Structure 1
Amino acid sequence: MFRNATLLSKASSRRTFTSQDSPPTRWRKYLRRAGFVALGVGSFYAVDRAFNASAITRNIRTLYTCAIITIDYKLNFTQEKSESIPELHTRVADRMYNLFTSNGGLYIKIGQAIGANAALLPKPMQEKFAKLFDDAPQIPYSEVLRVFKAEFGRPPCGDDGVFEVFEEKAIASASIAQVHRAKLRRLPGDTEDKWVAVKIQKPDVAKQMFWDLGAYRLVMYMFEKWAFDLPVYFVVDFVSDHLRRELDFILESENAKQTARFVASEPRLAKKVHIPKVYDEYTTKRVMTAEWISGVRLSDRNGMKRLMGENDTTLTAQATVSPSVGLTEIVGPTFSFPAKPLKGGFSSVMQIMVELFSAQMFSWGWVHCDGHLGNFICRPNPNDPTLPQLVMLDHGLYVRVDEDFRRDWSLLWKGLLIGDFTSVEQITRKWGMGLPDMFASVALARPVRLTRKDRRAEVEKVTRELEEYMNMSQYEQSVRMKAKLKQFLIDTDRMPKALIFLFRNMRIVQGNNQYFGAPVNRVKIIGLWASRSLTRLTRLTIGQRLREYANDMIFRGVLVSLDVAFWWTRFKQRVFAFFGTRSLSFEEELEKAMRGLMRNNVGINVESSMFNG
């Protein structure tokens, strides 16, 4: 009996201990599980970072951000929450910008591709995309050394090095590559040192490309089907293909050589434009070596004023914001300014640039798609040191267009400038696009009202739509904007995808001209090249060619009114500057009118930053 009582006492004691001890036991179990999860997540993160350049982690961040954006739009883009739609756009813009800048690398290029025509996006996105510059921290020299050994089997310099001298500190660093200065080893017969610019691809970029482009494809699909209900996915294959090409420096070297051949074949540009020589023996898929060029970046405001002998009186207010410079801060360290400023001022520099891009679009069908000011150097012309010469850099992104497209593009430009609704409508319909007036305005970066037989009815219609638009809620304005954009992009399968980059070029060239106070009549120069190119088409009969020459002469006469408007604006700038104030430049006046047209006709508020290139 005593023994049974003892057993019951022990059992009771055991039950009491277990009951009291269970909570700590559960917590230990939960903590142990949490530790295993943390260890697993940490190990996954470390492995992904070490062996996969954080590609999976970056794309988890992408999918999470895009899911939040989609849910936010589904819940808050409603008639009931109309007044809070601007805040919704701001949240989305901040999330997208933070995503692109956090992930870096190819995401910067993707963001620039999406923002190529950001004027069609809500106002907060326009502001954010305008800040996506192609800049990034340098990778350490140890990684540069690793790339060189992988590509050449030896280090950049030293007894067994590729170069005699290789500066370990990069001159510039962008999202996918960075540039170092180096000196070639002397060969028999060399009388002077040869300095070169060595562009080195960052090792992580190639690892991340597959995942990044996959995420880009998914994001564009989500935005089209779930979030914005706008046709955006159709550009994915075209943009992805060109982004892949940017990572192949052998292709970039071939692009540079092809451009040099085109420049040499054009008498108007042959001595005014220079493409740096590429050294094939020191160029691989991930390393490109080209001649070092000393000069002044066009984005260097003070340097260009000193080189060209200009002052601030005609420069635009926006010029205080330097355009994206990317990889091209490779100039300047060894440049000596000439004793006297170069002749021609800013107008001579911009004349060369606008003619260069016009030749690419209308004559060569070979278009450099990243022509911001940071990708140009200005230096004294070796053929005549009193005149400027432009050096064009960074040949990673080009688009090729065939002669049929160039013919349509040239006819379109002539139609745009003379306000011929019929010819513009025929070509835009052929390309699967509607709203010829809107297309004309986007292409020219200036407001265009094309001539119609029912002109009065059209004016009354626009006035009526404007009055209706001003009385709409934020939600109704956004819905109307989407409807207009769908009318603009009727059949994306027929749309020439090269237009994406050509429109971007229009924005960049306009911004470059505006940066220098609009010293040249950009629209007239482009129009003249378009008209002239029609006389040079290869498949014309003698009669057709003579007819095109006659049309070209007539067209030149039509453009006189445009020239009068340009020079009147320049005259006002000079007069206002004399009295210590400033007047709008020709480009600024076009921009102001263009912003009004886009707001009134389409419901898009275009920020002035979208015209800065």
Structure 2
Amino acid sequence: MLLGTTWRAGLRSARNQNVLIARSISASSVAAPKPRWQQYLRRAGLVGIGVGAVYTLDRTANASALFRNLRTLWACARITADYKFNFTEDKSAQIPELHERVADIMYNLFTSNGGLYIKIGQAIGANSAFLPQPVQRKFATLFDDAPQIPYADVLSVFQHEFGRPPDGPDGVFELFDPKAIASASIAQVHKARTWTGEWVAVKVQKPDVAKQTEWDLGAYRVVMWLFEKVAFDLPVYFMVDFISDHLRKELDFELEANNALRTMEFVAADPDLSRTVYIPKVYLELTTKRVMTAEWIDGVRLSDRNGILRLIGELPGAERPLRGGTRAVMEPMVELFSAQMFRWGWVHCDPHPGNILVRPHPSQPTHPQLVLIDHGLYVQLSEDFRHDWCALWEGMLAGEFSVVDHVTRRWGMGLPDLFASAVLMRPTRLRRGRPPPDPTKQPRKRLEDMSNYERSVLMKAQLKRFLHDTDRMPKVLVFLLRNMRMVQGNNQALGSPVNRIKITGFAASRGLTRDPNASLRRRVHDYWHYTRFRMFMFSIDVVFWAARVRQWVWALLGRCALGMGFEDEMERSMRGIAKSNFGVDPGPEAFRG
């Protein structure tokens, strides 16, 4: 009995001792925590694992859209901070370096993100004449070119859209080249042959684009808001909704196919254009929202200047040179886009030289035929706007200040003379009475005597006067001016063989509807107006042919292959206008399309 009691007392003593030892160990652990660097290292590891997991998920399931936006916001924050701290009067001498840094940041952002960022960057580049020269230079090299996606991705798109592979026994096509012939930011093109034996061009949308679109457009909205409200205090945000809507439409290939069919109907109904312009056939049964099939066309892209010159015999290499020279190429092109703006009210907004092919006419092999491709971006003009646009052009060419002033005021735009010069891309002074001199007004300082900061402030003030009321400004103007800039650039690249302004002006005049039941007084007014318009157009023709004569003389003297043409002289004049009105000195490529 005593032995048992002693054993139980020893057991309790041992237990109490173990508890004391445990408490001692616990107390020692609290009293001696791990080193702080180990805690930071552990936290950094957890954060790294979390970021890596988010990055992997974003890249695999969301096409890196989140991190693309973070890259955008970081670039935007850098630009905003740089301008806020360094765009000051006391740092005026460093402003060119500031513009250079910003141009590099923007260019690197657009090329790194790709996709719709390339489209947005091209829209900026097409209207960069009044931006700093570093921005002009950078964006002039922003081409819509991108690496091909793997064939496995093409296969997945076909499986999703058709439930079948591109080719094979149960394929959509009999033959399908797995290697794309061209690849751009949002799609790539493959050559294929249908089961009925027709060769076709198959445009396949890249899988990541659909996932990235809304993220990219959201970032675009934030960036434009920050640039207007925080960084530059310039009206740039008003175009965001309009441009975003049209960029979304470019991703719908069924809509693009319908655009092509509608343009085909307009061309077929025009007796003149139907002989010189062709729209490739679209295969609706082989088209979905992400895959479009159109007739395959062999031709020379207008961007291939030497190829065009060989085709028409101005460079050696063509077996049967086409007749008519560069004029036979450019005249139908200017007439086509003039008809779209002034008569059809249905305008192709991306007529860059890569979207225009030239080939021998199938029924007249000695004559050129233009082929218009890529119908993703069109704008529809309202009848009221189309009529105003025609009247505006006729008024600008006739030098009628009252007409131009009336239309531009209704559109919420100031500086009618400058607007006319920007549209015509030639110096334009509208006739009106001179206001009496204001003795209290101080003469403006000469641009040559201004600092970089003062010229930038002048440019901002003039742009605000120009875009007086952005709520009333027709948004389609942005795309119309883009169209005209590109047409001008195409004409300029081939040596200005046609008087673009004359062709466009007559198209605008024909686009104005005249009332057959008008009064005699109205008829006399219209007759006098039209006669004056013809006289003015004759004067433009004199200037054009004088430029052509100088151009030929230059070519004979060996100064250059095509000499300085009409468009080159107008570009030089427009650079002078930009410098005198906005305080910027555009580079030589600023007014090229």
Q: TM-score, normalised by structure 1?
A: 0.88
- 1:505 is aligned to 483
Q: Does 1:437 align with 2:447?
A: no
**CA offset digits 1:433-460 (Å, max 9, x no partner):** 00111101110111112222218969x9
Distance in 2, Cα, partners of 1:510 & 1:463: 38
Q: Does 1:574 align with 2:552?
A: yes
Alpha-carbon contact 2:200-2:296 (below 8 Å) kept: yes
Distance in 1, Cα, partners of 2:83 & 2:127: 21
- 2:223 is aligned to 219
Alpha-carbon contact 2:313-2:321 (below 8 Å) kept: yes
Distance in 2, Cα, partners of 1:441 & 1:517: 21
Deviation (angstroms), 1:561? 1.2
- 2:177 is aligned to 167
Q: Does 1:128 align with 2:108?
A: no
Deviation (angstroms), 1:201? 0.4
Match of 2:577 among 577, 580, 597: 597
Deviation (angstroms), 1:364? 0.4
Distance in 2, Cα, partners of 1:222 & 1:135: 29
Deviation (angstroms), 1:462? 13
Number of aligned pairs? 566
- 2:385 is aligned to 405
Deviates more, 1:263-272 or 1:29-38: 29-38
Alpha-carbon contact 2:312-2:318 (below 8 Å) kept: no
Deviation (angstroms), 1:541? 3.9
Deviation (angstroms), 1:557? 2.7
Match of 1:368 among 337, 340, 348: 348
Distance in 1, Cα, partners of 2:526 & 2:268: 25
Matching residue's letter, 1:288? M
Distance in 2, Cα, partners of 1:515 & 1:611: 12
Deviation (angstroms), 1:110? 1.5
Distance in 1, Cα, partners of 2:241 & 2:338: 26
Match of 2:68 among 32, 36, 58: 58
SS of the residue corresponding to residue 271 of structure 1 reads helix
Residues 545, 379 of structure 1: CA spacing in aligned structure 2 closer, same or farther, 3 A cutoff? farther
User: Could you say what the CA RMSD is over the residues aligned between the two structures, in angstroms?
Assistant: 2.5
- 1:446 is aligned to 426
Superposition misfits of 4+ residues, deviation over 3 angstroms: 17-23, 455-458, 460-465, 539-554
- 2:264 is aligned to 260
Deviation (angstroms), 1:571? 1.0
Deviation (angstroms), 1:523? 0.8
Q: Does 1:80 align with 2:90?
A: yes
Alpha-carbon contact 1:532-1:552 (below 8 Å) kept: no
1:525-544 matched pairs, under 5 angstroms: 525-534=503-512, 536=513, 541=517
- 1:110 is aligned to 120
Deviation (angstroms), 1:472? 1.6
SS of the residue corresponding to residue 532 of structure 1 reads helix
- 2:311 is aligned to 307
1:225-240 matched pairs, under 5 angstroms: 225-240=229-244
Residues 540, 223 of structure 1: CA spacing in aligned structure 2 closer, same or farther, 3 A cutoff? farther
Q: Does 1:294 align with 2:302?
A: no
Distance in 2, Cα, partners of 1:253 & 1:417: 36
1:147-546 matched pairs, under 5 angstroms: 147-186=157-196, 193-311=197-315, 339-454=319-434, 464-465=443-444, 467-534=445-512, 536=513, 541=517
SS of the residue corresponding to residue 589 of structure 2 reads helix
SS of the residue corresponding to residue 482 of structure 2 reads helix
- 2:12 is aligned to none
Matching residue's letter, 2:120? I
Deviation (angstroms), 1:29? 2.5
**CA offset digits 1:346-400 (Å, max 9, x no partner):** 1110001111110011000000000011101101112311111000000000011
Larger Rg: 2
Deviates more, 1:447-456 or 1:177-186: 447-456
- 1:5 is aligned to none
SS of the residue corresponding to residue 270 of structure 1 reads helix
**CA offset digits 1:185-224 (Å, max 9, x no partner):** 02xxxxxx31000000001001001110000000000000
- 2:18 is aligned to none
Uncovered stretches (5+) of structure 2, i.e. residues with no partner: 1-20
Matching residue's letter, 1:567? W
- 2:538 is aligned to 560
Deviation (angstroms), 1:549? 6.5
Alpha-carbon contact 2:410-2:472 (below 8 Å) kept: yes
Deviates more, 1:297-306 or 1:233-242: 297-306
- 2:16 is aligned to none
- 2:10 is aligned to none
Deviation (angstroms), 1:604? 2.3
Distance in 1, Cα, partners of 2:78 & 2:294: 45
Deviation (angstroms), 1:608? 1.8
Alpha-carbon contact 1:366-1:398 (below 8 Å) kept: yes
Residues 157, 218 of structure 1: CA spacing in aligned structure 2 closer, same or farther, 3 A cutoff? same
Distance in 2, Cα, partners of 1:577 & 1:339: 25
Distance in 2, Cα, partners of 1:103 & 1:557: 52
Alpha-carbon contact 1:249-1:284 (below 8 Å) kept: yes
Match of 2:568 among 588, 595, 599: 588
**CA offset digits 1:333-355 (Å, max 9, x no partner):** xxxx8632111011110001111
- 1:4 is aligned to none
Distance in 2, Cα, partners of 1:184 & 1:550: 59
**CA offset digits 1:517-563 (Å, max 9, x no partner):** 111111111111111111x46x7645568965764454223211111
SS of the residue corresponding to residue 90 of structure 2 reads coil
- 1:29 is aligned to 39
Distance in 2, Cα, partners of 1:542 & 1:351: 34
Deviation (angstroms), 1:461? 13
Deviation (angstroms), 1:19? 13
Distance in 2, Cα, partners of 1:541 & 1:54: 63
Deviation (angstroms), 1:18? 9.3
**CA offset digits 1:554-579 (Å, max 9, x no partner):** 42232111111111111111122212
Alpha-carbon contact 2:342-2:386 (below 8 Å) kept: yes
Distance in 2, Cα, partners of 1:212 & 1:461: 51
- 2:4 is aligned to none
Matching residue's letter, 2:284? D
Residues 338, 90 of structure 1: CA spacing in aligned structure 2 closer, same or farther, 3 A cutoff? closer
> Percent sequence identity over matched residues?
61
Matching residue's letter, 2:247? L
Distance in 1, Cα, partners of 2:524 & 2:167: 60
**CA offset digits 1:477-531 (Å, max 9, x no partner):** 1111100000000111110000001111121111100100111111111111111
Uncovered stretches (5+) of structure 1, i.e. residues with no partner: 1-9, 187-192, 313-336
SS of the residue corresponding to residue 55 of structure 2 reads helix
SS of the residue corresponding to residue 321 of structure 2 reads coil
Deviation (angstroms), 1:410? 1.2
Matching residue's letter, 1:476? E
